[in-house]
Structure 1
Amino acid sequence: MKNATTHDNHALLTIAELATRFSLPESTARYYCKRFLDYLPHVGEGKRRRYRGNAVAVFAVILEEMKKNKNAMAVEAVLSNKFPKNIDVVVPKPQAQQQNNHLAISPAVSPVSEADAGRFLALMEQQTSAMQSIAGTLEAIAKRDSVIQHLEQALETRNEEVTQLRKEVEHVKTLQSESEKLHQQDLDQMRKWLGRIASEQANGK
């Protein structure tokens, strides 16, 4: 079995064949081909586009860098250091089709290239990821604020309970003080009575 990175420079590969070589879903291979089209040697346009054999080595580097959790811009920087940008080579069309194309009216606005569409898609994915991250942060802040509010309410309730207990303690202290005064008065009165009784008994003798 050949290694996925081995290739015939004269071979022309479809996206499906690239996906098979690297055991990738075809949708993933298609995204990589669109996103890094400038660095993948190819011929043709649209559905007729085919990738040259030496594109396999470029594709291998793309996969290696993506596995390092790099974003598309970082991968593109690595590719720019290792590989030159490619000029899209268009497969010659039959003469009759070329004549028909000469008769066709050129559009007023040039269509967006697939490479630009790939860059736009990558940018949209980055923005979506950033928005999801912001939403998650806002949700975490909202939960934290709810917890803080709950703790503040609990603390306020505890403070009210402590204040009430202090009032009750002061009331108990007041009652105790009055009780001690009454008890002292009763003892003094009892001493007087006992003294009087003792005095009367002594005089009676």
Structure 2
Amino acid sequence: MDKLLTIAEMAKELDIAESTVRYYRDRFPDFMFSVGEGRKKRYRPETVEVLRFIAEGFNRNLTAIEIESGLSLDFSRNIEVEEETAEPIAVAQQQSKNELNQYAVQLQTAMEQMGSAMQIMVDQKEEIAELRKQVAEQKQYVEETLQQRDERLMESMKQFLEQKKATAASSDSEKKGFWARIFNR
């Protein structure tokens, strides 16, 4: 097995500053092959070739995007996969069940509220229909009452006019002389 290297050892081998190696590591983390965490982190020997490629790219004034494209063609990416244990899976499943239960309760509450709102709307529609019926009945009553009043008024006016004519006729006949009344002239 090849020896694992520190940042300092890789910097010495490439003859560049440790800070530059750290910058390259942080800028292109997908291509850095490491083992361990924190101060105990060590890098596999192929990481030196990746760092050399990066350094040469910057020396040729390539952009970070161009360097990353070149790295993608020549080197594999480092993908970290965490192992899952049965416990986190069970916890996640329990959380999923709890979330589903919460959603079910929320959905049930929402459905009940919608049912209540729909019942209120049905009741209001019935009330509106009843009010419309009452308004129509009142409108008909008012129209009939007005028609009856108009008929009585017309009858009263006819009687008044007939009485006026009769009064006028009797008044004319009183003005006529005795002989004119006898001969109806």
> So what's the TM-score if we normalise by structure 2?
0.48
Relative contact order, higher structure (CA 8 A, sep 6+)? 1
> So what's the TM-score if we normalise by structure 1?
0.44
Which has the higher Rg, Structure 1 or Structure 2? 2
More helix by share: 2
